[in-house]
């Protein structure tokens, strides 16, 4: 089971989303129509089979508008739910439930969608050694949550940001003067705990990277036959990662080349939201 995220990591994000929705005057519809003392109970329901992610985020969304709201989860993040399953029950002041509903569903649907897509991709390559990892192609402001959703789906994370690993891309190589020069500069300027990965486009660049002692190589936009040769060259010398244009449609073929890692920006920039409803 995926460990839950500390609330501190996403509370500001939830507050911003609520502020965006409530605007300058609050929920004028609920304020006008719903009696102030009305109470209600609602259910968060899966409208399709999905991998659950975002229940704690949804709970916080409701509680920020009414701290006394009772949120009872029947599922946990990282678990599967079938169409029609009730994910959680929410009870409290009716106006607060209605005002928080859309933001809570936006988070729950988005994160469950990423987790569900990741689950499918991971399952499709389960017969290989390849691990599925996410990229930095995330929605601005939602990276921590979207990366968490990938983990809930059974995937793993690549870098969370620019500060936790060195990844030398093609533009870095060009500005440094080549593969060996870029790797040498990186080795000289980062601490001994930092892993260094370099993107290569050709087998000649791969050979250069291997000779220079890269910890990992990102094999960019290589067709399967080239990937197989690259994996053979690098075997036992460094980790291999396939990247570039990989989708659920072609990920199986990529995994069967023997690469260690497959990074898919698709998981976080193109996964459809899961269908989740809030029924009062």
Q: Which of 80, 201, 215, 220 is the catalytic position?
A: 220
The answer to whether residues 152 and 249 belong to one domain is yes
207-258 pLDDT, tens digit each = 999 999 999 999 999 999 999 999 999 999 999 999 999 999 999 999 999 9
Q: Which of 39, 47, 83, 169 is the catalytic position?
A: 169
Helix (H), strand (E) at residue 111: helix 94-124
140-155 pLDDT, tens digit each = 999 999 999 999 999 9
* pLDDT at residue 1 greater than cutoff 90: no
Cβ neighbours, 10 Å, residue 192: 5
What is the pLDDT, as a whole number, of residue 111? 98
Active site residue 199: yes
What's the residue count for the chain?
280
Q: What is the number of domains present in the chain? A: 2
Residues 159 and 166: their CA atoms lie apart, in Å, by 9
159-191 pLDDT, tens digit each = 999 999 999 999 999 999 999 999 999 999 999
The answer to whether residues 103 and 154 belong to one domain is no
The answer to whether residues 105 and 129 belong to one domain is no
Residues 245 and 253: their CA atoms lie apart, in Å, by 13
Q: Which of 76, 136, 137, 207 is the catalytic position?
A: 137
Active site residue 215: no
Segments of 123-200 assigned E as strands: 131-134, 156-157, 166-168, 196-200
Cβ proximity of 211 and 234 under 8 Å: no
The answer to whether residues 101 and 75 belong to one domain is yes
Active site residue 36: no
pTM: 0.96
Q: Which of 66, 76, 80, 102 is the catalytic position?
A: 102
Domain that holds residue 157: 123-269
Average pLDDT over residues 96-115: 98
- 1 part of a folded domain: no
- Local confidence band at 41 (pLDDT 50, 70, 90 cut-offs): very high
């Amino acid at each position: 089971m995926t460990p839950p995220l500390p609330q501190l990591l996403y509370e500001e994000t939830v507050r911003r989303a609520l502020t965006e929705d409530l605007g300058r005057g609050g929920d004028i519809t609920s304020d006008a129509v719903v009696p102030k003392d009305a109470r209600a109970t609602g259910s968060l329901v899966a409208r399709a089979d999905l991998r659950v992610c975002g229940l704690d985020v949804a709970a916080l969304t409701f509680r920020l508008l009414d701290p006394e709201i009772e949120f009872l989860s029947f599922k946990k993040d990282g678990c599967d739910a079938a169409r029609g399953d009730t994910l959680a029950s929410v009870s409290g002041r009716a106006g607060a439930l209605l005002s928080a509903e859309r933001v809570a569903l936006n988070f729950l649907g988005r994160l469950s969608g990423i987790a569900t897509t990741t689950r499918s991709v991971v399952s499709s390559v389960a017969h290989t050694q390849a691990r599925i990892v996410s990229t930095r192609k995330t929605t601005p402001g939602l990276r921590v949550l979207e990366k968490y959703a990938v983990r809930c789906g059974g995937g793993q994370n690549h870098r969370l940001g620019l500060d936790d690993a060195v990844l030398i891309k093609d533009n870095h190589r060009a500005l440094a003067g080549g593969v060996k020069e870029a790797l040498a500069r990186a080795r000289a300027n980062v601490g001994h705990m930092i892993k260094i990965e370099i993107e290569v486009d050709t087998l000649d660049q791969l050979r250069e990277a291997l000779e220079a002692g890269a910890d990992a190589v990102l094999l960019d936009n290589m067709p399967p036959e080239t990937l197989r040769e690259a994996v053979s060259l690098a075997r036992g010398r460094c980790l291999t990662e396939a990247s570039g244009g990989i989708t659920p449609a072609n990920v199986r073929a990529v995994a069967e080349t023997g690469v260690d890692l497959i990074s898919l920006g698709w998981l976080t920039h193109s996964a459809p939201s899961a269908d989740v409803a809030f029924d009062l």
